[in-house]
Structure 1
């Protein structure tokens, strides 16, 4: 089960995600870059543990490792929370200027997230453009938006948080014929 929480910087995504996770799972793993706040937020219970997995391409490895070690019979009782996908992707983009390598790492990360067996809650940011973005910023924003669309397509639930208020996007979904 994939759940996505999106919104702007400082909108309350993490607080909402942790509260939501506590409602649907007894235990969880909170994967944090640690760069958005010097203190890991208060976890819902003692059955939740935090892992500061660092930045860059490590998230793919961590997701695969958790997936390999998971007991599929207990997967419904635990949730993995990724906070935040945008930070990991930004770190990966800072690590190399090679666009092909960035594309490969992005696809590997997306494949890891979509192949996860169990409950996965991904926190990501909505990409808003600058007036005069650099080429690198434009490429990153486009790649992040593409990943967000892929997550939405595979998510059972998707929430947008604005000023602490969560909106269930799947319930509000509108489709336009192409």
Structure 2
């Protein structure tokens, strides 16, 4: 089961993901990376001592992220997978970090970025347990470099794929969550969605 949380930078996505995790699981693994790779601190976490009923494990969402997700997926038994929720914070920050690692502006570098990116998306989409993915909505200015355009289009395409696979999409605005896709909402699609049937 996949929940998607999107919104702008600093709008409260991480805090909301934490609260959501407490309602859908009994233990959590938080895979975190900084929103920006250069000189920013990682997301601050709550004091785990305040939540003895909900144990957290924290680890970095680094270059081995796809392997970590696959390992968690493969090593989970059905009971554990139902109790545990994975929080990926954040997909957009991880992609920024990937661009920071691969600085060359060559077709081969672009292929390396794409391969690593597709591995992470495949690991998320094939995950069989509960997962909350935090990402950002892309906004573009008038003058973006080719690298910035590549980042924007990759993330936007990934957000669309994750939306189709997710149970619920929340959009955060100034600390308030709005349910955009969920059990109470329906889009005009040709197939049954959630609890509503097509007419």
Please give the TM-score of this superposition, normalised by the length of structure 1. Answer: 0.90
- Tell me if structure 2 keeps the 8 A contact 1:31–1:53: yes
Equivalent-residue separation in structure 2 for 1:39 and 1:113 (angstroms):
21
Q: What is the CA distance between 1:133 and its match in structure 2? A: 0.8
Say yes or no: does 1:130 pair with 2:135. Answer: no
- Tell me if structure 2 keeps the 8 A contact 1:34–1:40: no
Note the residue ranges of structure 1 that are not aligned, 5 or more in a row.
none
* Structure 2 counterpart of 1:107, from 118, 121, 127: 118
Question: CA 1:39/1:111 → structure 2, altered by over 3 Å: closer, same or farther?
Answer: closer
Question: CA 1:23/1:54 → structure 2, altered by over 3 Å: closer, same or farther?
Answer: closer
Question: CA 1:144/1:173 → structure 2, altered by over 3 Å: closer, same or farther?
Answer: farther
Q: What is the CA distance between 1:73 and its match in structure 2? A: 2.4
Equivalent-residue separation in structure 2 for 1:74 and 1:52 (angstroms):
18
1:92 aligns to what? Answer: 98
Q: What is the CA distance between 1:89 and its match in structure 2? A: 1.1
* Structure 2 counterpart of 1:41, from 45, 60, 82: 45
Equivalent-residue separation in structure 1 for 2:171 and 2:41 (angstroms):
20
Equivalent-residue separation in structure 1 for 2:149 and 2:79 (angstroms):
43
The one-character-per-residue Cα deviations of 1:4-51 (angstroms, maximum 9, x if unpaired) are 101100000011111011011111111111456445321572333242
- Tell me if structure 2 keeps the 8 A contact 1:34–1:52: no
Note the residue ranges of structure 2 that are not aligned, 5 or more in a row.
191-199
Q: Aligned to 1:109, what secondary structure does the other structure show?
A: helix
* Structure 1 counterpart of 2:80, from 74, 79, 85: 74
Say yes or no: does 1:163 pair with 2:174. Answer: yes
Equivalent-residue separation in structure 2 for 1:48 and 1:95 (angstroms):
32
2:4 aligns to what? Answer: 4
- Tell me if structure 1 keeps the 8 A contact 2:34–2:93: no
* Structure 1 counterpart of 2:152, from 141, 164, 178: 141
Equivalent-residue separation in structure 1 for 2:20 and 2:3 (angstroms):
10
Structure with larger Rg: 2
- Tell me if structure 2 keeps the 8 A contact 1:30–1:48: no
- Tell me if structure 2 keeps the 8 A contact 1:53–1:62: no
